[in-house]
Amino acid sequence: MTTPPPATASPPDESAANAGTAASALVAGSPGAAIAAIPFAGGSAEHVGGSGLLHARVVRPPLDGEGASLRPRRLLAVEAASVAAIEGVVDVVARGDFVAVVATTTEAATRAARQLKARWESRPAPQPLPARENVVYEHGDTAAASAANKLSRSYRWPALPPLAEESANACAALVDGELHLWARARAPRALTLEIAALTGLPPARVQVLDPAALAPQGLPAPAGRSPWTEHAAADAALLAQRLGRPVLVTLGQAELRWSAALAGAQESRIEAADEAGPDAAARFASYRHTTLPPAQTPLLPALRLAGVGSPTAEAAQPATVLPPPYRAAALRLASTAAVVSPRPPAAHDPGLPGQVFAQESFIDEAARAAGADPLAYRLQRLEDERGATLLRRLGEQAGPAPASDDALLRGRGYACAHVSEAAWENDPQHTLDAAAIDAHKDAWAAWMAEVAVDPRSGEVAVSRVLVGSDAGALDHGGMRQAIADTTGRLLSAEPATAFDDWPATAVPAAPGEIALLNAALLGTEPPAAQSLPAMPEPRLAGTGATLLPAAAAVANAIHDATGVRLDAPPFTAERIRLALEARNGAAVKASNKRKLGWLGAAAAAAAATLATALPWRAPIAPVAPPAADLYSAATLARGELVAAAGDCAVCHTTADGAPLAGGLALETPFGIIYTTNITPDPETGIGNWSYAAFERAMRHGIHRDGRHLYPAFPYTAYAKLSADDMQALYAWLMAQPAVKAKAPETRLAFPYSLRPALAGWKLLYHDPSPFQPDPARSAEWNRGAYLVEGAGHCGACHTPRNALGAEKSGEHRYAGAFAEGWEAPPLNALSHAPVPWTESALYDYLRHGYSPQHGVASGPMAPVVESLAALPDSDIRAIATYLASHAKAAPTPATASGYANALQQRAQAAALTLAGPAESLYDGACAACHQENGPDLFGVKPELALNSNLHSPHPDNLVQIILHGIQSPAHGDLGYMPGFAASLDDRQIADLSAYLRARFAPDKPAWQGLAETVARLRKGGVH
């Protein structure tokens, strides 16, 4: 959990003193009432919803170091000019290391934040302070226990990363010298103090208001959980004060991950020994629990970056340590925090979840070390009868333990928590009297979780959850959602921006089954005298304590299933897979990108190259196809995205054939190569290919039977796929319908018919090493590079090949080439696009199949764009970012549209000088749809003056399109173009092409040999 501002849970006396302020600071009641209570400068809250509102995105500094030494860089300079051309940008604000871009729309601010150029400087690593232990509680002599059966363990509790698509926002405005904040704050009082310090306003002039009041103004619904909305609120406050206008700040994934990373991790060290000897009681002889709070200060980012100290830091809440619920002859609780309190932590204490995780993981380990059943071991040692009853009932409800099978490892784990509910925290209406609150300070919660783990991928699914609590009725939708969110967060991927993360698959599925056992069902209801007075629904009390055992229950279940002990959430597939591999003694695979250094990669590549140079390879034995339900839905979804990025279906499907059944003829300079059937049919497809065979084909271009494959199959690119992606792709292909279809056999002429010769070819031209991200580049660039160089295999068409059919390198990379009778234009500085490509034009083209300044995706590129439709926007943007880095310096949008206008005017002028039969051809065949000032017709109207094909040194693409039209565009909205092959002869098409060149690209030399080109392409047909 991210550490909140320290005053979150202030002691009750202080809270009472502040009650008046807090009540006036929070506008309660209906939104209408809230609006009436907001005295806006413009007269009403409409001021915020109207044109006055500005939208901001912050740019957080890059981080250096790790753990306690993790630190943001220092800002040297920010170049406001780098975003000046973006329409809607209002200002770039920098204060200390705080940087934000303010614009009239969130979209403009987001674009600008991405493009803003800033220079940062690393700070030296801080000296770690020596930690001193402060004892919170001690009885008996914990040092005396014999070391013989002592178990000592340590656990970490990091801030959990945001979920995919999670964001947070908050709004701030200066009204009559007061700063109003609309934010879903967890600790409004502390936020008020910190923002007062940030802005220099007296705390009384800072008001935290209910964001629901903004909804009627059409503002985005307040999003995000505390404390991230508080981070956004502080950012908004700083900007609203600087600009004197209302500002809405949105924090996206990157900013939330930045905050989560800086929040650091709490550590818990537990050391305990069981009572030994013949008449030993079921209790610990000694138990020591020491917590090390996160080393980072829990300061709001705006304050930290602006260099403002926290006004609440001195009044920091003293650290507390949770007493374990188990019997111990000697007990010692300590913390390395500067200030400690002997009080037990309240249910909302930020240090609590990590301590429960540590204690409940530890008891599980202790039970297993003693060879005992973890549930029975707990029940023997629990001090409190209510807790023991709750846990026992939970065990009875759980039924027989799940059994593992060949495909999935299954396990079950328990955990419980016993904490003070501190009901006053959830009683803003003051409906509870002091006696009632006292009577309900204690709450028990217990979890049983069952997991299923795929041992190959390490993926975990929480298949069943049983939650019991004696804090009152649990069975409402909010609790189910909270449970699903919690387990999802525990399993969600690390806050990595790895190049092979697929955003759409990052959210683990909710537990298969959630059962809630409330107090009545369990028969552990508190005595009647203690039953709570009616509370307003939904009841918040109970929520905090109820979710506490979640992490330990899931970790214990994973251990039960796999024998792997995870000492910190999140429990990601990668960590489990690595632990399983390490335990099984398997060599760490080359695919383990996070562990593999440069040296390892080079060695792996060298070894693989040597192996591949053998002129023949051993066949890999056929296997039965994997069962349909072997792979999880998440794996299949990921595999589908990899297949889409790799356009598998584009080449492995014929116009009338079943998907992936192969048979498409690919024309190469060496002869016709037919694509193969890659459906899981055992006879004609790849149904009996094991994963090892599949991976060898993808990375090394070797058929299952040992034959070398021709490099028309782009394994030179697919070798770059990460192991996770390769596995997911295999899983997805094996889950597709099997189609029995024998693809025609490829028969090349001698010497290309000699497949063993390919071994030498590979030695020369194939580098099977996996993709290596460039640490000097952004995560987005690396993601784009991975997609383009790996699955996307863009170079297969866009990079020229040498006489032996290998892609050239160096300056020839992406220098353009010919494929299937079409020109694949250069993507590098040689691009002949009359308006240079920009990142956003590339995005438009790849996402929508059309860029107004370049034209439509046609020929073999149309199905590529169609296939890319499956990828999320972020991936298309990453591809655009990477490709743009190869191109000429991109013009600003304003310059680009200036170019476009000039080109159109030039074409109009050129038209006046041209006449004759070709002009009639143009008027008849083209003008209705293409003339600049023509009717509005269904589809897009590509401007010929801007079309890259008319500016290319090669007329091929233009002639292809005139001959065959555009019959299957990337997207139905683009419209269609008829082919003129049947109505215009070679001479007419040549004349028309020459006319189009002279009119729309008058600065380019006339094309030579047009009639022959037309005749040649007319014969060739089209892919």
Partner 1 sequence: MSAPKQIALRVNGSEHQLLLSPDAPLLYALRNDLGLNGPKYGCGLGECGACTVLVDGRAARACILPVGGLGQREITTLEGLGDLAAPDPVQQAFIECQGAQCGYCLNGMIMTVRALLNRKPEADEADIRRELRGNLCRCGTHLEILASARRAVELEGQRRAARASAAAPSPASTGCATADAARAPVPETATTATVDTVLAGPLIRG
Is residue 213 within 8 Å of 268, Cβ to Cβ?
Answer: no
∠ CA 405-408-409, nearest 5°, is 85
- Closer CB to partner 1, residue 260 or residue 856? 856
- Quick one: which of 924, 953, 1009, 1021 contacts partner 1 (CB under 8 A)? 924
Which among 5-13, 472-480, 639-647, 935-943 is the span making contact with partner 1, rule CB under 8 A?
935-943
CA 792 to chain centre: 20
Judged by CB under 8 A, the number of residues near partner 1 is 26
Is residue 306 within 8 Å of 235, Cβ to Cβ?
Answer: no
Is residue 380 within 8 Å of 367, Cβ to Cβ?
Answer: no
Largest CA distance in the chain: 113
- Closer CB to partner 1, residue 608 or residue 661? 661
537 lies in the binding site for partner 1 (CB under 8 A): no
Strand order in the sheet with 460-469: 409-420, 442-453, 460-469, 514-517
- Quick one: which of 536, 934, 953, 1009 contacts partner 1 (CB under 8 A)? 934
Smallest distance, partner 1 to C-beta of residue 303, A: 53
Site string for partner 1, 53-72 (x = CB under 8 A): --------------------
977 lies in the binding site for partner 1 (CB under 8 A): yes
- Quick one: which of 587, 936, 1003, 1005 contacts partner 1 (CB under 8 A)? 936
- Quick one: which of 131, 144, 754, 937 contacts partner 1 (CB under 8 A)? 937
Q: What is the rounded CA–CA span in Å between residue 535 and residue 818?
A: 73
Site string for partner 1, 878-917 (x = CB under 8 A): ----------------------------------------
Smallest distance, partner 1 to C-beta of residue 988, A: 13
CA 425 to chain centre: 35
Is residue 321 within 8 Å of 334, Cβ to Cβ?
Answer: yes
Name the region of 190 (left: φ>0; alpha: ψ -120 to 50; beta: rest): alpha
Which among 241-249, 386-394, 626-634, 965-973 is the span making contact with partner 1, rule CB under 8 A?
965-973
Measured CA to CA in angstroms, residue 461 lies from 216, 455, 677 at distances of 40, 12, 33
Is residue 644 within 8 Å of 867, Cβ to Cβ?
Answer: yes
CA neighbor of 391 nearest in space, from 402, 376, 405: 376
**SS3 for 933-995, per residue?**
CCCCCCCCCCCHHHCHHHHCCCCHHHHHHHHHCECCCCCHHHCCECCCCCCCCHHHHHHHHHH
Is residue 188 within 8 Å of 208, Cβ to Cβ?
Answer: yes
Compute the half-sphere exposure of residue 474: CA atoms within 13 Å on the CB side of its CA: 31
856 lies in the binding site for partner 1 (CB under 8 A): no
Residue 813 one-letter amino acid: R
929 lies in the binding site for partner 1 (CB under 8 A): yes
Which among 286-294, 538-546, 843-851, 924-932 is the span making contact with partner 1, rule CB under 8 A?
924-932
Q: What is the rounded CA–CA span in Å between residue 33 and residue 116?
A: 41
Smallest distance, partner 1 to C-beta of residue 929, A: 6
Cis peptide before 751 (omega within 30 of 0): yes
972 lies in the binding site for partner 1 (CB under 8 A): yes
Smallest distance, partner 1 to C-beta of residue 647, A: 20
Q: What is the rounded CA–CA span in Å between residue 26 and residue 232?
A: 18
Smallest distance, partner 1 to C-beta of residue 186, A: 46
Measured CA to CA in angstroms, residue 177 lies from 206, 826, 828 at distances of 9, 58, 54
Smallest distance, partner 1 to C-beta of residue 733, A: 25
Restricted to residues 815-844, the positions that interact with partner 1 (CB under 8 A) are none
Residue 936 one-letter amino acid: D
Residues comprising the chain, all counted: 1023
- Closer CB to partner 1, residue 877 or residue 999? 999
Q: What is the rounded CA–CA span in Å between residue 194 and residue 312?
A: 7
Phi and psi angles of residue 897, each rounded to the nearest 5 degrees, phi first: -75, -25
865 lies in the binding site for partner 1 (CB under 8 A): no
- Quick one: which of 478, 754, 809, 976 contacts partner 1 (CB under 8 A)? 976
Please report which helix (H) or strand (E) contains residue 879, including its range.
Answer: helix 873-884
Smallest distance, partner 1 to C-beta of residue 658, A: 12
Strand order in the sheet with 134-139: 134-139, 331-335, 284-292, 265-274, 150-158
- Quick one: which of 633, 967, 987, 1012 contacts partner 1 (CB under 8 A)? 967
Restricted to residues 701-740, the positions that interact with partner 1 (CB under 8 A) are none
Q: What is the rounded CA–CA span in Å between residue 823 and residue 1020?
A: 14
Residue 269 one-letter amino acid: R
Q: What is the rounded CA–CA span in Å between residue 19 and residue 539?
A: 22
- Closer CB to partner 1, residue 797 or residue 958? 958
- Quick one: which of 750, 933, 1005, 1019 contacts partner 1 (CB under 8 A)? 933
∠ CA 95-98-102, nearest 5°, is 90
Inter-helix orientation angle 861-868/839-848, to 10°: 90
Smallest distance, partner 1 to C-beta of residue 969, A: 8
Q: What is the rounded CA–CA span in Å between residue 905 and residue 608?
A: 57
- Closer CB to partner 1, residue 245 or residue 930? 930
Inter-helix orientation angle 550-562/477-491, to 10°: 50
Which among 4-12, 429-437, 619-627, 974-982 is the span making contact with partner 1, rule CB under 8 A?
974-982
Site string for partner 1, 799-818 (x = CB under 8 A): --------------------
- Closer CB to partner 1, residue 603 or residue 658? 658
Is residue 276 within 8 Å of 369, Cβ to Cβ?
Answer: no
980 lies in the binding site for partner 1 (CB under 8 A): yes
- Closer CB to partner 1, residue 357 or residue 922? 922
- Quick one: which of 925, 945, 950, 1017 contacts partner 1 (CB under 8 A)? 925
978 lies in the binding site for partner 1 (CB under 8 A): yes
Is residue 633 packed enough to be buried (19+ CB in 10 Å), middle (13-18) or exposed (0-12)? exposed
Compute the half-sphere exposure of residue 280: CA atoms within 13 Å on the CB side of its CA: 16
Is residue 497 within 8 Å of 779, Cβ to Cβ?
Answer: yes
Which among 313-321, 882-890, 946-954, 967-975 is the span making contact with partner 1, rule CB under 8 A?
967-975
616 lies in the binding site for partner 1 (CB under 8 A): no
- Quick one: which of 633, 983, 1012, 1021 contacts partner 1 (CB under 8 A)? 983
- Quick one: which of 512, 928, 953, 1021 contacts partner 1 (CB under 8 A)? 928
- Quick one: which of 477, 916, 935, 1005 contacts partner 1 (CB under 8 A)? 935
Which among 490-498, 771-779, 844-852, 978-986 is the span making contact with partner 1, rule CB under 8 A?
978-986
Q: Which DSSP symbol is given to 669?
A: T
49 lies in the binding site for partner 1 (CB under 8 A): no
Which among 89-97, 134-142, 452-460, 933-941 is the span making contact with partner 1, rule CB under 8 A?
933-941
Which among 112-120, 369-377, 851-859, 931-939 is the span making contact with partner 1, rule CB under 8 A?
931-939
- Closer CB to partner 1, residue 499 or residue 995? 995
- Quick one: which of 684, 874, 895, 931 contacts partner 1 (CB under 8 A)? 931
Smallest distance, partner 1 to C-beta of residue 741, A: 15
Which among 521-529, 688-696, 822-830, 977-985 is the span making contact with partner 1, rule CB under 8 A?
977-985
Smallest distance, partner 1 to C-beta of residue 10, A: 59
Restricted to residues 647-676, the positions that interact with partner 1 (CB under 8 A) are 655-656
939 lies in the binding site for partner 1 (CB under 8 A): yes
Q: What is the rounded CA–CA span in Å between residue 495 and residue 158?
A: 11
List residues near partner 1 by CB under 8 A: 655-656, 924-925, 927-929, 931, 933-939, 965, 967-969, 972, 975-978, 980, 983
